[in-house]
Amino acid sequence: MLNIRPATPDDIPDILAFIRELAEYEREPASAVATHADLLRDGFGPVPRFHCLIAEVPSTDNLQPATCNFLPAGFALYFYNYSTWRGHTGIYLEDVFVRPAFRGKGIGKALLASVAANAVAEGCHRLEWAVLDWNTPAIDFYNSLGATPMSEWTTMRLSGDALPALASAAYVPTRAVNP
């Protein structure tokens, strides 16, 4: 029995754990610096900047449906974007992760299917995400779902000191003074 549900603020410790486990798997553990306050502010405030689904599996301690405890097995974190060419919203899947002990049981596919169902229900015309080029198990899995690699595009990122440096060059219109 698999349960996939929207995350709540009570799930933030598990979301942070998933993020750190994913960063470890992707060989960038020091890069995962998000805090509880960051996720609370950006995911559960008045204007959520992201949405998150939690995949849970029953604990083997007690499999009685009425009293079953669930263990967090994985998550999918996504946000909406907009395609100017298509004139429609889309979803960008920032992270999808299933703990190693739960892999191979259809949880990753169920998480992706749930995000895809949200995209269809919201009238989105595409679901996109990035995958590291060395992560061949994930690439093979995504290909098996019908995903298409977009090899002609290069992802660009502006962060660190470069972001405020460029921002400081922003044009700020001056107000005309009436004589």
Q: Find the helix or strand (DSSP H, E) in which 52 lies.
A: strand 51-58
Q: What values do phi and psi take at 21, rounded to 5?
A: -65, -40
Q: Which of helix, strand or coil describes residue 175?
A: coil
Quick check: 64 pLDDT over 70?
no
The single residue listed with the structure tokens 């700020």 is: 172
Confidence of residue 176 (pLDDT cuts 50, 70, 90): low
| Calpha distance 31→19 (Å, rounded) | 10
**Is the overall model pTM greater than 0.85, yes or no?**
yes
| In the predicted structure, residue 177 carries a pLDDT above the cut 70 | no
Active site residue 25: no
Using 50, 70 and 90 to split pLDDT, how confident is the model at 155?
A: confident
How confident is the model at residue 173, as a pLDDT?
78
Mean pLDDT for the stretch of residues 33-53: 97
In whole numbers, what is the pLDDT of the chain averaged over residues?
Answer: 92
Q: Which residues contact 111 (CB under 8 A, 6 or more apart)?
A: 4, 53, 55, 74, 75, 76, 96, 98
Distance CA 90, CA 125 (A): 6
End-to-end CA separation in angstroms for the chain? 75
Half-sphere exposure (CA, 13 Å, Cβ side) for 20?
11
| Catalytic, out of 25, 78, 80, 142 | 142
Separation between Cα atoms, residue 53 and residue 39, nearest integer Å:
14
Is the pLDDT confidence value at 65 over 60?
A: no
**Rounded Cα gap, residues 14 and 70, in angstroms:** 12
Task: Say which residue, 52 or 64, is predicted with more confidence.
Answer: 52
- Give the other-Cβ count within 10 Å of 128's Cβ: 15
Section 9-27 average pLDDT: 97
> 91-133 pLDDT, tens per residue?
999 999 999 999 999 999 999 999 999 999 999 999 999 999 9
With contact defined as beta carbons under 8 Å apart, do 128 and 93 qualify? yes
